[in-house]
Structure 1
Amino acid sequence: MPQGPDIAPGRLTDAELALNFSDAHPPLTHAQAVVEADRCFYCYDAPCIEACPTGIDIPRFIRAIATDNMAGSARVILESNILGGSCARVCPTEILCEQKCVHNTREEGQPIRIGMLQRHATDWQMEHGGQPFTRAPSTGKRVAIVGAGPAGLACAHRLAMHGHDVMIFDRHALAGGLNEYGVAAYKLADDFAQREVDFLLAIGGISFAGSEVLGRDMTVAGLRREYDAVFLAVGLAGVRSLGIEGEDLDGVMDAVDFIEGLRSTSKQTVPVGRRVVVIGGGNTAVDAAVQARRLGADEVTLVYRRGAENMSATPVEREWAQTNGVTVRLWASPVRLVARDGALAGIEFARGAKGADGRATYDAQDTFIQEADMVLKAVGQTFLPDPLNGESIAIAGGRIVVDENGETTMPGVYAGGDCTPGEDLTVAAVRDGRNAAEAIHAAFTAAVAK
């Protein structure tokens, strides 16, 4: 990223940056958590459980908080979701468990703050109790996992619980995946992602090899020969391009790279423009826009091609952007990036509207230019199949094909998380990894029984 008067690091002081990137939502005190837990009806047929992809017994863990059984509360959560601490911070609980809370149907319409209570319990466990699970006696079975994000870590932990030895490979130097490199710093503040990784690995039996790239340093077939099973949790490593004129101008970059750079280095060294435009309508776009503002950008505009109801970012995320000084413009599609004297000066958009058939239409004659010295593209991530070329692993619809057990078309090779069909949520990735581990363990057990 070039540096100059319009794109430069260090726009704010260290003290300002520390404040801007501190925990976005401070934790509950224990007294506050108990009061909140007491609001729960502890429903017998709780709809919040059905809404949780990992199936946490939510009323049970909340009741444990209410009775001051913090260890019991944390164990209920972590039995289903070993990454319950990060999920409590980053999951869109407002459209999952909290949306189904029966309190929404009551006059006050305020659901139980399930995410905050989950954070309270898991934080207590990490601070006071350490790793609550013990490793079973070694089975001698060895499993390779490619990808150290939520799916890979959840798979590794569950396999280790069953006594299997696990080796995790990842293209990054640190484990954590999106939690470490792709989530806004204020959501997982105070190095929480690495502290959670350390907490998870404390069970034992799990090794990690960083800076190892599938297709360069290893192949799936090679891993399959060396290990008793393989789990692929490679995520979505590709990013979509805009496909418009000027996309190669200095000052134009992918939002995921911007966020990763911010998470990987001192915030004081991250360059940011004075006038930043973010293109996209998902959580990545919101994270990039808010962080650009908090780095010291004078103006940040998030532009989305359709209406607010079509954005994948939740209403809570959209409100968060606006309360952080981000201007949101809807119904505008990028046409070209505008240069002045060879440097990025802005981006031209065509105005759009919802057509009679409900689809977006744009008027090529009705355009406007949004001035910018920095443009961040957040128009979607894609699965990169190249590392699997030549492997007998089926890919359809841009994702790895798996059966009900998470097994691919290559026997003994499983996959889960964002690289497989389904919702791209951290909690869903944890579920996939956990379930694949159970399927792998069942396969090992069945083989021994024969």
Structure 2
Amino acid sequence: MSNSPFTPGIAPARLDRAEYAANFADLHAPLDDHEALVAADRCYFCHDAPCITACPTSIDIPLFIRQIATDTPEAAARTIFDQNILGGMCARVCPTETLCEEACVREAAEGKPVEIGRLQRYATDTVMAAGTHPYSRAAPTGRKVAVVGAGPAGLACAHRLAMKGHDVDIFEAREKPGGLNEYGIAAYKTVGGFAEAEVNWLMQIGGIRMLNGRALGRDLTLEELRGDYDAVFLGMGLAGVNALRTDGEDKEGVANAVDFIADLRQAGDLSSLPVGRNVVVIGGGMTAVDAAVQSKLLGAENVTILYRRGRDAMPASRYEQDLAASKGVRIIFNAMPVRMTGNGAVQALEAEYTTQTPEGLKGTGERFTLPADQVFKAIGQSLGDAGALKLDGRKIAITGAGRTSEAGVWAGGDCASSGDDLTVTAVAEGRDAAEDIHASLSA
């Protein structure tokens, strides 16, 4: 994204400081002690709890809520961390409305689930605020494992391996660890530098060395890692952003949504971030929603999400769609970009309505134009250097608990072909791969 002061329509400091503070405050305020007890009391503590099945990390949700209800949040946190060492972040960013809370019996009976996400945050925050780490390392095994990527999958894998007594080196391309949690999630979901604090807390386990500024394919190769380490886990996420292949995509003011979100997350002063008056975001996932909502919160007058399919097909949950609408974001369904116009800098986006046919998605021929001085692309990302690894589409093919086509190499998270691109799913895959690596090294 260009920060040029000469780009028409794009400017910083559209709001006063009080407005920035209010707009980017915590989306869901933490529960206090009394609120947590009241919220926990609503749980039926189901014996065959559907919420556990709905959780990708299989946290024993009724147990940790019962532990909160009996005023032992530290025990509740241990129950959570046993399955999900990044339970604090997941409590903030998980789409609980489509996972555990959607499966809640209270949701089915009353349309109001137990607030599982906020209760999880209450428990994990209690322990992390105390600065204590509930785990210690096993006796050293003398084995070394390389983890590529310090995102959710890599961190979860590294922590579990360190617990088992292995030494772990994490190679991270960026200057700060955290991956998606640090660079790719809306600022109002994880305030106060929580992502960095969580990594620092996790590293207290010991046995993990963080090596920043080291990217696979640029600074190291998979062959080198396989030669230097007893096992390798790849959790580097997705590097490149897919191209629109639309006329005018190269105009000033057209940028990648992931870069915009990363710039915002790392900004020390939100008033320094330029934003357009008329912003269009192309895509339908969480990145699209996060970019659109934050553009509005930065002071954009008109923000529109353009999604080529219908509402039910939109990857972002209905909750996130409604959140965007509540912030003044307009969502246009069944429409695709055709071209971007303007003299050097984008000034308008021409789009075409779409329809689903037996031959696939096609344009109807009916077009419309949106004023746009800033356009963000949020149409997915592609894998970087995967060496000789077998691919499944655009991702690394895996079997079982993250085993790749190459012996001694595992993968998980967004770079692997395993499922949903969610923080909680990445944590589960990193954790399970670590267990499989440990079993392999112990055989």
Q: TM-score of the superposition, structure 1-length normalised?
A: 0.95
Residue 352 of structure 1 and its aligned partner are, at CA, apart by 2.5
Secondary structure at the aligned position of 1:249 is classed as coil
Secondary structure at the aligned position of 1:334 is classed as strand
**2:434 alignment partner AA:** A
Quick one: distance in 1 between partners of 2:356 and 2:440? 51
Q: In the alignment, which residue of structure 2 is the partner of 1:87?
A: 90
Quick one: distance in 2 between partners of 1:351 and 1:71? 53
Worse-superposed segment, 282-291 or 322-331? 322-331
In 2 relative to 1, CA 292–43 (structure 1 residues): closer, same or farther, beyond 3 Å? Answer: same
* Structure-to-structure mapping, 1:109-188, within 5 angstroms: 109-128=111-130, 130-188=132-190
Residue 13 of structure 1 and its aligned partner are, at CA, apart by 2.3
**2:401 alignment partner AA:** N
Q: Is 1:257 matched with 2:259?
A: yes
Secondary structure at the aligned position of 1:333 is classed as strand
Quick one: distance in 2 between partners of 1:376 and 1:143? 38
* Structure-to-structure mapping, 1:208-357, within 5 angstroms: 208-266=210-268, 267-339=270-342, 341-355=343-357, 357=358
Quick one: distance in 2 between partners of 1:145 and 1:342? 43
Q: Is 1:362 matched with 2:363?
A: yes
In 2 relative to 1, CA 298–359 (structure 1 residues): closer, same or farther, beyond 3 Å? Answer: same
Structure 2 residues without counterparts, runs of 5 or longer: none
In 2 relative to 1, CA 182–429 (structure 1 residues): closer, same or farther, beyond 3 Å? Answer: same
Q: Is 1:432 matched with 2:434?
A: no
Quick one: distance in 2 between partners of 1:253 and 1:189? 25
Worse-superposed segment, 21-30 or 59-68? 21-30
Quick one: distance in 2 between partners of 1:94 and 1:343? 39
Q: Is 1:74 matched with 2:77?
A: yes
Residue 383 of structure 1 and its aligned partner are, at CA, apart by 1.7
Secondary structure at the aligned position of 1:362 is classed as strand
In 2 relative to 1, CA 359–213 (structure 1 residues): closer, same or farther, beyond 3 Å? Answer: same
Measured against aligned partners, the alpha-carbon deviations of 1:286-324 in whole angstroms (never above 9, x if no partner) come to 000010111111111111112111100000000000111
* 8 Å Cα contact 1:71/1:129 also seen in 2: no
**1:333 alignment partner AA:** M
Quick one: distance in 1 between partners of 2:74 and 2:310? 45
Q: In the alignment, which residue of structure 2 is the partner of 1:414?
A: 410
Quick one: distance in 2 between partners of 1:409 and 1:53? 24
* 8 Å Cα contact 2:401/2:429 also seen in 1: no
Quick one: distance in 2 between partners of 1:369 and 1:109? 40
Measured against aligned partners, the alpha-carbon deviations of 1:258-289 in whole angstroms (never above 9, x if no partner) come to 10111122322221111111111111000000
Measured against aligned partners, the alpha-carbon deviations of 1:409-443 in whole angstroms (never above 9, x if no partner) come to 21111111111111111111000100111111111
Q: In the alignment, which residue of structure 1 is the partner of 2:377?
A: 377
Q: In the alignment, which residue of structure 2 is the partner of 1:60?
A: 63
Residue 119 of structure 1 and its aligned partner are, at CA, apart by 0.6
Q: In the alignment, which residue of structure 2 is the partner of 1:388?
A: 386
How large is the RMSD of aligned CA atoms in angstroms?
A: 1.3
Secondary structure at the aligned position of 1:347 is classed as strand
Secondary structure at the aligned position of 1:8 is classed as coil
Quick one: distance in 1 between partners of 2:164 and 2:335? 52
Measured against aligned partners, the alpha-carbon deviations of 1:175-216 in whole angstroms (never above 9, x if no partner) come to 000000000011111100001001100111111011111111
* 8 Å Cα contact 2:386/2:396 also seen in 1: no
* 8 Å Cα contact 1:135/1:160 also seen in 2: yes
Residue 404 of structure 1 and its aligned partner are, at CA, apart by 0.7
* Structure-to-structure mapping, 1:14-53, within 5 angstroms: 14-53=17-56
Quick one: distance in 1 between partners of 2:83 and 2:364? 50
* 8 Å Cα contact 2:131/2:201 also seen in 1: no
Quick one: distance in 1 between partners of 2:212 and 2:271? 26
Measured against aligned partners, the alpha-carbon deviations of 1:17-73 in whole angstroms (never above 9, x if no partner) come to 122112111111111111111111111111110111111000000000000011110
* 8 Å Cα contact 1:280/1:378 also seen in 2: yes
Secondary structure at the aligned position of 1:272 is classed as coil
Q: How many matched pairs?
A: 438
Residue 377 of structure 1 and its aligned partner are, at CA, apart by 0.7
* 8 Å Cα contact 1:146/1:232 also seen in 2: yes
Measured against aligned partners, the alpha-carbon deviations of 1:63-95 in whole angstroms (never above 9, x if no partner) come to 000000111100000000000011011111111
Quick one: distance in 1 between partners of 2:363 and 2:401? 44
Residue 129 of structure 1 and its aligned partner are, at CA, apart by 5.4
Measured against aligned partners, the alpha-carbon deviations of 1:234-270 in whole angstroms (never above 9, x if no partner) come to 1111211110110000000010011011112232222
Instruction: Give 2:13's match in structure 1, choosing from 4, 10, 14.
Output: 10
* 8 Å Cα contact 2:67/2:75 also seen in 1: yes
* 8 Å Cα contact 1:229/1:412 also seen in 2: yes
Q: TM-score of the superposition, structure 2-length normalised?
A: 0.96
Worse-superposed segment, 266-275 or 422-431? 266-275
* 8 Å Cα contact 2:170/2:209 also seen in 1: yes
Residue 104 of structure 1 and its aligned partner are, at CA, apart by 2.2
Quick one: distance in 2 between partners of 1:244 and 1:360? 16
* 8 Å Cα contact 2:106/2:112 also seen in 1: yes
Instruction: Give 2:104's match in structure 1, choosing from 92, 98, 101.
Output: 101
Worse-superposed segment, 145-154 or 409-418? 409-418
Identity across matched positions, percent = 53
Q: Is 1:443 matched with 2:440?
A: yes
